[in-house]
Amino acid sequence: MQQVTVRCTVDNCYYWRGGNVCDAKEILVTNDMVGQRYPGEVDVQHLSTVLEEVGETPVKSCQETCCKTFRPGK
């Protein structure tokens, strides 16, 4: 499996590393409606539950997506 580098400019996130790299082992990107339904970050322990509950969440543009992996770090 190819390793993917995820870039992120949110430098106050727990997973942010120098060079604008996200160091999270898993990342959840979903649509804004799901983001509002789960207002906090989704930790790895609850990721499977959230994925089962929401299923697929199509969007029409990148403006309708959000990263639910964010965790305050600084």
CB 65 within 8 A of CB 36: no
C-alpha to C-alpha distances, 42 to 8, 23, 61, nearest whole angstrom: 17, 15, 22
Calculate what percentage of the chain has a pLDDT beyond 90: 38
Q: CB of 68 within 8 A of CB of 29?
A: yes
Domain boundaries, the chain: 26-74
Q: How far apart are CA 37 and CA 35, in angstroms?
A: 5
Q: Which residue has the higher pLDDT, 16 or 74?
A: 16
Q: What pLDDT, on the 0 to 100 scale, is given for residue 12? A: 95
Q: Which residues of the chain form beta strands (DSSP E)?
A: 6-7, 16-17, 21-22, 29-31, 65-67
Chain segment 12-66, per-residue pLDDT in tens: 999 999 999 999 988 888 899 888 888 877 776 778 888 888 889 999 999 999 8
